[in-house]
Amino acid sequence: MKQFIKSVILYLPFLGNYYKLRTCKFAGFTLWRYFKFTFLTYDKTIYWPRDKTSQVANPINIEVGKNTSIGNHGCYIQGNGYLKIGNYVRIGPNVGILSGNHNEYIQFDQVKKTTIIGDFTWIGMNSVIVPGVELGERTIVAAGSVVTKNFPEGYCIIGGNPAKLIKKIDKNKFEPHLNKYEFYGYIPVNKFEKFKKKHLSKKHNKIS
């Protein structure tokens, strides 16, 4: 009987997607937030789950990959420039990720840069990723770090202020966890093309 109820739920568009999202264990995800996003939120540029204490600036310039969890408590995600966050990325509480900063001579001018966070990256709590940084696949950022330079090759542990290489990770030993169900935020992968054409800017056409 339990299996029958589960199979029925999976075929119901709203409840089916909710059930699948629950298996992804996204940070800050609840049925109410999913319902609110799906039916009550007019501005859908923030299409991923986030805690109520998490702030997002200029989401129209932010890409969030598949099964990525970036909406933890106290986080600040800023798209003043262009911010691309890859697939299966996890960040801890109170993390700042920036893609723009103030001009050193004219404070109210924005210096816009491109910030890239690679797939399977893990960013520890209280860390800051400054504008223009590129982190390659499976970069682990130790808690409390300030990342000011690129680590494009990835597969490493970095930490400190400014962050430096602590340890390299053997790529051949890394075992990525892939979920049975995949979503871009709240949106199933097979529905995302239609969603982004309707709700997101042309910048999001870079998502693949």
Map out the domains of the chain as residue ranges: 2-172+182-201
Active-site residue flag, 102: yes
From residue 47, alpha-carbon distances to 113, 192, 198 in Å are 22, 10, 13
What CATH architecture applies to the domain 2-172+182-201? 3 Solenoid (2.160)
Q: Tokens for 119, please give them.
A: 């797939």
Read off the pLDDT band of 152 (50, 70, 90).
Answer: very high
Please tell me which residue in 102, 177, 199, 204 is annotated as part of the active site.
102
Would you place residue 207 in the very low, low, confident or very high pLDDT band (cuts 50, 70, 90)? very low
Instruction: Judge whether residue 9 has pLDDT over 90.
Output: no
> Does 167 have pLDDT greater than 70?
yes
DSSP assignment of 98-167 equals: -SEEE-SSSTTSEEE-EEEE-TT-EE-TT-EE-TT-EE-TTEEEPTT-EE-S-BTT--EEEEETTEEEEE
Q: Is the peptide bond before 59 cis (omega within 30 degrees of 0)?
A: no
Which of 31-40, 101-110, 169-178 comes out lowest in average pLDDT? Answer: 101-110
Query: 205 pLDDT exceeds 50?
Result: no
**8 A C-beta contact, residue 136 and residue 151:** yes
Give the predicted TM-score (pTM) of the model.
0.89
